[in-house]
Each structure stands twice: as structure tokens, then as C-alpha cells.
Amino acid sequence: MTVVTRFAPSPTGELHLGHAYSARNAWQRAREAGGRFLLRIEDIDIRRSRREFETAILDDLRWLGLDWDGDVRRQSEHFADYGRALDRLDARDLIYPCFCTRADIAAATDAPHGPDGPLYPGTCRHLPRDERRARLAAGEEHCLRLDAARAAVEAGPYAFTDETHGRIEGEPLLFGDVVLARKDTPTSYHLSVTVDDHLQGVTLVTRGEDLLPSTHVHVLLQRLLGYETPAYAHHRLLTDPTGRRFAKRDRSLTLRSLRESGKTPEEIFELIDRLPPPSSGEVAG
């Protein structure tokens, strides 16, 4: 089987050293196996995404010598793909409209917590169909949520394998009734990344350990949509010498600023290889 990896940054800022590490990791895995390395731009956040950041991403990757195969896939150009996946889930009564505001959810102080904070308490899950239709017809603001309990029953028990952590039993309720789409953004990270990996034929997902919990949702969606589950390799997160994770706001450590200071691609990779791994408890959560 051909190994297909991908690097999927969001164009909401410039790439930093952590991005360079992640991109090189995916690129090396594909090239060493004689496979394909894909570039995807995750720009579903229309308000924060900027074309100038996308241009900078492509320039930085070319400067690093990390070439990609085929055309760049921009998520904002494929909302129809995500819509078709939502339609399939809706036809099986696996999603529902939620009219709660963020303030409504925050007020539910007794809600259990998940990796991203308080889980949605399910207020709109059991609204009568007539009420749902009336509120939708009135144009009331809403999002679409996955009915995680119903999805868990349909999907059945599942597991996935990570190169570092081995076999992991799936926890379909880990994130609760996750949002799969909003009125202003007709998809979500969880839905779009699952659909994209399937449509692009990705066989090996390499990404940071902070996204390991999300894999429980992605494999659940794969089972519901009839997709193959790829292999996973969640790598360590880079930190600076003080132990702080890199972020786009760290202007001095962006690839562009390092390049402008005279650094070469070889020096960038040497710097990355010398950086310490995160301290215990900093990853995967």
C-alpha cells in the first residue's frame, strides 16, 4: 500500500519551528516509503484565514525544501463535500440542531468536562421535531451537533492504533455531542479533517500529540461514514528551552523571521533537533 501523508496548517498566522518539525516529519515518512506527501490548507475559519498567510506557508515550505505532490487542497473550496457527509449523518438521525448560545452552555456548571472543557449538556438533543422545524424556519441561529450516544450505538466498539501509544480503545463520548457545523462555517475541524483524509487517500496521519484525543472523534466519524481508518503517528510537541510550546504569536521564532535573520534551512532543522521534548504531562490534552 502506498504511504500517503499530509501537512495541514491553518492560514491564520506564520509558520514557526513546531510547524517545520511537523511538516518535515510527514514529508520524511512519505519520501522514505516512496509515497506521497500532500499539502492541505485548513481555512474553514473564514474570518481569521488570510491569503497572505497561505502564500507565506507555501514560501516557507519551498524554502525548507519540503515539496508536495499534486494540488494544494483548500478546505474553503470544498464545503459541498462536508455538506454531503452531513446529509448522510442527518438521514440516519445522527445530528441535531442546537440553538444554545455559548452563555447558555457556560451556565450549565454541572456539565462533565472533556478534553476541550465542559461537555455540551444536551439541552437541544430531545427537542420535539415540530419545535426544531419552527425554529429553523424562523432562521434562529444554530449549529449542528453529533448525537454522540446514538452514534456510539451505531458505530459499535472501535479502536485505533498509534505508533507511540499502541492500540487505543475508542471513547465515542469523550467530546460529547461535538459541533459538526455552524451557520457561518458549514463544517468543523472534526468533520472536515475526517472527510479530507478519506477523499485524499491519506494512509498515515502524522500530527502533534495534542490532537491525540481528537482521534477518538475522527475514528467514530470514519465508522459512521464507512471510511477506512488510517494509521496514526502522534509525535512529540516542540518546546522552547524554557519548556513553553511554540505559538504563532511568537514572532521571533517564525520561519520567516529566522530566515530574514540569516538562518539557512539546514540550521533550522539542526535547531529543531536540539530542542527539548515537552515535560511530562504537557502533551495529549
Task: Indicate which residues carry an active-site annotation.
Answer: 248
Transcribe 223-270 into DSSP letters. HHHTPPPPEEEEEPPPB-TTSPBP-TT-GGGBHHHHHHTT--HHHHHH
Query: Which H or E run contains 6?
Result: strand 4-7
Residue of 123, 83, 116, 86 whose CA lies nearest to 101 = 123
Which position has the grid cell 471513547? 171
Residue of 142, 125, 133 whose CA lies nearest to 185 = 142
∠ Cα 56 59 64 (to 5°): 125
Q: For residue 163, which amino acid is it?
A: E
Query: Which H or E run contains 5?
Result: strand 4-7
First to last CA, the chain: 32
206: which strand partners?
A: 233
